Structure 1
Amino acid sequence: MRLTKKAAGLIAAATLFTVVAPAAAAAASPRSTCYGGRVCLYAGYDYNRGQVDHWRDFVSDDSNFADNNWLNWDFSNSWTSMDNDTSSIRNRIGCSATLWQHPGYTGAHSTFTHNSNDGYLANNAIGNDRASAIDIWCR
């Protein structure tokens, strides 16, 4: 009888850890999901997989990223400027969005259509870590 109670206790403890572990993993997972009606930018390649999870989403134009900081996975401010620091994009806004090299919508640029993803901006005209503005074409 004593062994059975001990075994039951071990099973209960294992069940507790099984339930808690997935919840903790979900809280620390990357913000690779981009909800409808938004354009999501990521500091890392492939939507931050395996990297620091800095991200930001937009619903309208922003002519200068210098006054924006990345958000952390938990939506807190990272205190890291996102100017010239974007490596991947997801577009779920419902229209095209253009990333620009310089503030004020100038310089090299790349346009991304609705429902497009690009996990590697280095192979576009905008390039890696060069975006300073976003122009969303829903007009």
Structure 2
Amino acid sequence: MRLTKKAAGFVAAAAALFTVAAPAASALASPRSTCYGGRVCLYAGFDYNRGQVDHWRDFVGDDANFADNNWLNWDFSNSWQSMDNDTSSVRNRIGCSATLWQHPGYTGAHSTFTHNSNDGFLANNAVGDDRASSLDIWCR
């Protein structure tokens, strides 16, 4: 089947529209809006990164040293930015309590978050803003 110039132009325009719309749709599915069950989600920005660079990370187990981890971007790619001493908000969906610690190895000031709790402003907690270096999950 042969396409007329008008039909070929329509097909090209539709393809271009899909190419532009696809990344926008991915941005709407940003992890900042959801923290799935069975995970503790940490965010680099206050209020789960709303209006800020969307760096996040989710955990299903303990992590004794955040210096080994980089933030993820909204599209799940590596941001190449260390998450050590850079957490500003947390959501806990793991099913038990989780504790953020100020220093590696679960030491220093700490704040514990019960299951289904959120805190979009860690500056008002003992662990503080941009000070977390380890995560201990208490499902034992």
Distance 1:31 1:73 in 2: 6
* Pairwise CA RMSD: 2.0
Distance 1:26 1:39 in 2: 25
Deviation digits for residues 37-62 of structure 1, max 9, x if unmatched? Answer: 00000000010111100000000000
Quick check: 1:116 aligned with 2:131? no
* Alignment length (residue pairs): 128
Structure 1 unaligned segments of length 5 or more: list them.
1-12
Question: How is 1:123-134 mapped onto 2 (pairs within 5 angstroms)?
Answer: 123-134=124-135
- The Cα shift of 1:26 comes to 3.2
Structure 2 unaligned segments of length 5 or more: list them.
1-12
- State the identity %: 82
Distance 1:70 1:94 in 2: 23
Quick check: 1:44 aligned with 2:42? no
Distance 2:19 2:134 in 1: 41
SS at match of 1:28: helix
Instruction: Report what 1:31 is aligned to.
Output: 31
Quick check: 1:90 aligned with 2:77? no
Q: Point out 4+ residue stretches in structure 1 off by more than 6 angstroms.
A: 19-22
TM-score, normalising length from structure 1?
0.83
Instruction: Report what 2:137 is aligned to.
Output: 136
